[in-house]
Structure 1
Amino acid sequence: MTTVPHGPWAGCPVAHGTDLTRLHGPDAIGDPHAVHARLRERYGAIAPVLVDGDVPAWLVLGYREIRRVLENPLQFRRDPRIRRAGEIAEEPPPVRPVGGPDGIREDGEAHRRLRAAVTDNLHAAAGRGIRRHVTHLAGRRIDAFADTGRADLVADFAADLPMLVLTRVLGLTENEGRVLAESCGQAAEGGPDAAAHDERIAGVLAALAARKRTEPGADLATGLITHHADLDEEETVRLLRSVLVTAHTATGNLLARVLEAVLTDPAVHSGLVGGELDITSVVEEVMWNSPPFAVLPARFATGDLELGERRIQEGDLLLLGLAAGNRDPLIRPDTGVSLAGNHAHLAFGAGPHECPGQNIALGIVETAVHVLLHRLPGLRLAVPAGDLTSTASAFASRLDGLPVEFDA
């Protein structure tokens, strides 16, 4: 083990590149929590890692360090075009197709203009009866399997419901929503087909924006087009894509994890059914323990600085370990203690890029759980809880399935 004297890992005790954790490739990650714990034990709050193409990066694991990065856009910017050694990086490292909670790469005034268009219209969408839409659409999904007595609540419910709701919110047709559902999941996962799915998404959304310019409606697409931010066509499509992909992926993952928590803990299940427990407290616990995105890309240092006892250089790439930060033993020494009512988790990010659609996401999840428990008496797991599996990458952990039985 040696201390690197210069370069992106200056001052960090790392071995040669083969000894570093790679956050890409089929064997990149197994149990994210175990990987993060191992990195924390070895390196502390900030660990050197490699991303796609063996690009060097810092993985920020400490809660306080993550909040400092998120809340200081003058020191840590979303825009990858940061000077290093007199050069401008024209393209970002290939870390992820989805950039983060609000999906806007710009910072400063450019970010405020774009974000205002998104937040104003998401607020309006949340006020147009989003929970009523969820109740109706969740009921339709349940109707498809209610007579069978069995279902997979990931494939048959959680994976599709957010897209059905977003189809209404954005102003898409049901057919367009079905076309986009698969592509959103593939784009969020990355991999060799991500670019093709991104193009497919962009094509559908460009057609939507063009249609709404001549056929406006009470929807997000129309709201963006007519907003005083005066978005051009490229900006409109990019913001629509950001809302669609991020919300679909994150909300689907969160809904699946909340249902898992309900069905694997009899006290939680009975408390919700009997009305003694508030669904909001269950969702908060899940967002602490299993945030929809385990790692959030990406920030770039605007100058040389110190963070978590590491020397960060101008232009360095930082990835934010939200799941690790939520389990930081310095702020959460006992992960078994209830966090009901504690909203300080990192699941929605923080700072100027904090997720602007979190109220819609929570409305979808909380309403969907209520509808499901009301519609399916005797709902129970069809397999032992220990048999449930997840597919984990460096950036997220997705529940593979949730087989259940109920009284048809």
Structure 2
Amino acid sequence: MNTDPVPLSGAGFQREPAELYRRMRQDHGSVVPVLLDGDVPAWLVVGYRELHQVTGDPVTFSRDSDLWNQWDTLPDDWPLLPMIGRKQPSILYTVGERHRVRAAMISDALEAVSAHELRALAERFADELLDAVCGRGAADLIAQYAMLLPVRVLARLYGFSEEEGPALVTALNDMIDGQERAIAGQRHLGVSMARLLAERAAAPADDVASRMLAAEGGFTHEEIAQDLMVMLAAGHQPTADWIGNSLRLMLTDDRFAASLFGGRDSVAAAMNEVLWEDTPTQNVAGRWATRDVRLGGRALRAGDLVLLGLQGANDDPQIRTHGSALTGGNNAHFSFGHGEHRCPFPAQEIAEVIARTGIEVVLDRLPDIDLAAPAASLTRRPSPWLRGLTELPVQFTPIPPRGGTPQ
């Protein structure tokens, strides 16, 4: 078994990471030694059964980042700190009974979102975004559509004004990309959340932030602000990439041609196939070993960081054959995680409504839409964490805008 660590970066993630994960599994097995930015060591779990074991055993594989045995080696400006923070008072790093109470509070706040309001907001914002480009006959459905829709819907549901949306998009992307702007992006989000909570504490409204403030459990404003940041980050970029990756699939795969020309029958199938084959959230940090333990034939030390290889596990040949049609109505993928720290079901439902609405509005309004560039020329962001297109250029017959702005 190869013991040389694999850099978790590079052009392979921009081109075909599925092939990269297969090579990792072939060379290293189901648990791969990897290096993060700055040559920081970690383990990437790409085996389906091993990932199920890690996410289902919070005693051995904890979410408590204070356990990490690498903290003394990291610089203060390490770009992945926003993603792997120490002593962050968010639900991501809360464990035990406190986590269960906190997760219930978040689920309740999201579950109270009106399904009718959610769908109406998504449709109206989608129409407004298409109104800005529909008369031109060409658009980039990533920068001009998918990257704008989820955060605009979520920001309004959470309690932000529409005007704050563009700056939130920029800050979120900077933080998630884990590059030199990551810390500044995190800072902007923190200031924005603190301001929102101060406003809602003084004047509650019918929004997620107000419901979280009113919940029992003694949660501080800082805890709620951190959770709102997590919810916005986890809800925006993966949903934007879900829209972009699904539209790419439907525009490049003949199986979905009927949907592009007058039907919605295959939208759900395309979205589910993306969660298996091209999931927006490729890898997640992480869990920490609470003791020395063996996993997938590897000897992990107490305090080692374990990264969740969601896409690698989805493609594990132990549970499927490469190229098989293990998609359709099968939802046993890891794209929303697993165990007590998986994405809450109300959050999954909100993301699905936004993504599906966004796709359906495009198909309804631009029925002759087609790629404006060769499929092979489409490129991805070079991130090991999230997989999304840099652009999706399309062309279509120009149409007049419908008009109307969400109030």
**Counterpart amino acid of residue 366 in structure 1:** R
Match of 1:141 in 2: 129
Match of 2:349 in 1: 359
SS at match of 1:177: helix
Asked whether the 8 Å contact 2:79–2:183 carries over to 1, the reply is no
SS at match of 2:165: helix
Structure 2 Cα separation of the partners of residues 96 and 32 of structure 1: 24
Matched, 1:14 2:3: yes
Equivalent of 2:338 in 350, 365, 388: 350
Measured against aligned partners, the alpha-carbon deviations of 1:116-137 in whole angstroms (never above 9, x if no partner) come to 1211111112535311110111
Match of 1:380 in 2: 370
Closer, same or farther: CA 51–28 of 1 in aligned 2, 3 Å:
farther
Task: Please report how far the alpha carbon of residue 95 of structure 1 lies from its aligned counterpart in structure 2 after TM superposition.
Answer: 4.2
Moved more, 153-162 or 126-135: 126-135
Measured against aligned partners, the alpha-carbon deviations of 1:226-263 in whole angstroms (never above 9, x if no partner) come to 01133101101101111111211111111110111111
SS at match of 1:297: strand
Match of 1:286 in 2: 274
Match of 2:361 in 1: 371
Task: Please report how far the alpha carbon of residue 222 of structure 1 lies from its aligned counterpart in structure 2 after TM superposition.
Answer: 0.5
Match of 2:382 in 1: 392
SS at match of 2:66: coil
Equivalences for residues 3-402 of structure 1 within 5 A: 13-15=2-4, 20-24=5-9, 29-30=13-14, 31-82=16-67, 95=80, 97-98=82-83, 104-125=92-113, 127=115, 129-271=117-259, 273-275=261-263, 277-356=265-344, 357-402=347-392
Q: How many residues align?
A: 388
Measured against aligned partners, the alpha-carbon deviations of 1:200-230 in whole angstroms (never above 9, x if no partner) come to 1110111000000111111111011001133
Asked whether the 8 Å contact 2:44–2:308 carries over to 1, the reply is yes
Structure 2 Cα separation of the partners of residues 189 and 169 of structure 1: 24
Measured against aligned partners, the alpha-carbon deviations of 1:369-405 in whole angstroms (never above 9, x if no partner) come to 1111111131111122122111222222220111111
Closer, same or farther: CA 132–269 of 1 in aligned 2, 3 Å:
farther
CA RMSD, Structure 1 to Structure 2 (Å): 2.4
Moved more, 310-319 or 159-168: 310-319
Task: Please report how far the alpha carbon of residue 175 of structure 1 lies from its aligned counterpart in structure 2 after TM superposition.
Answer: 1.5
Closer, same or farther: CA 84–162 of 1 in aligned 2, 3 Å:
closer
Superposition misfits of 4+ residues, deviation over 4 angstroms: 26-30, 93-96
Asked whether the 8 Å contact 1:121–1:223 carries over to 2, the reply is yes
Asked whether the 8 Å contact 1:169–1:219 carries over to 2, the reply is yes
Identity across the alignment (%): 35
Asked whether the 8 Å contact 1:32–1:392 carries over to 2, the reply is no
Structure 1: where are the runs of 5+ without partners? 1-11
Closer, same or farther: CA 27–387 of 1 in aligned 2, 3 Å:
closer
SS at match of 1:53: coil
Task: Please report how far the alpha carbon of residue 273 of structure 1 lies from its aligned counterpart in structure 2 after TM superposition.
Answer: 4.4
Task: Please report how far the alpha carbon of residue 278 of structure 1 lies from its aligned counterpart in structure 2 after TM superposition.
Answer: 3.9
Task: Please report how far the alpha carbon of residue 157 of structure 1 lies from its aligned counterpart in structure 2 after TM superposition.
Answer: 0.6
Structure 1 Cα separation of the partners of residues 258 and 158 of structure 2: 36
Q: TM-score, normalised by structure 2?
A: 0.89
SS at match of 1:318: strand
Structure 1 Cα separation of the partners of residues 310 and 320 of structure 2: 14
Structure 2: where are the runs of 5+ without partners? 399-407
**Counterpart amino acid of residue 368 in structure 2:** G
**Counterpart amino acid of residue 320 in structure 2:** R
Asked whether the 8 Å contact 2:260–2:368 carries over to 1, the reply is no
SS at match of 1:14: coil
Measured against aligned partners, the alpha-carbon deviations of 1:124-168 in whole angstroms (never above 9, x if no partner) come to 125353111101110110110111111111111101001110121
Structure 1 Cα separation of the partners of residues 130 and 69 of structure 2: 54
SS at match of 1:284: helix
Q: TM-score, normalised by structure 1?
A: 0.89
Moved more, 127-136 or 148-157: 127-136
Asked whether the 8 Å contact 2:11–2:382 carries over to 1, the reply is no
Match of 1:4 in 2: none
**Counterpart amino acid of residue 365 in structure 1:** A
Asked whether the 8 Å contact 2:21–2:46 carries over to 1, the reply is yes
Moved more, 119-128 or 149-158: 119-128
**Counterpart amino acid of residue 199 in structure 1:** R
Task: Please report how far the alpha carbon of residue 98 of structure 1 lies from its aligned counterpart in structure 2 after TM superposition.
Answer: 3.6
Moved more, 167-176 or 305-314: 305-314
Match of 2:405 in 1: none
Asked whether the 8 Å contact 1:272–1:279 carries over to 2, the reply is no
Structure 1 Cα separation of the partners of residues 233 and 202 of structure 2: 25
Structure 2 Cα separation of the partners of residues 83 and 160 of structure 1: 35
**Counterpart amino acid of residue 265 in structure 1:** D
Moved more, 74-83 or 209-218: 74-83
Structure 2 Cα separation of the partners of residues 292 and 126 of structure 1: 26
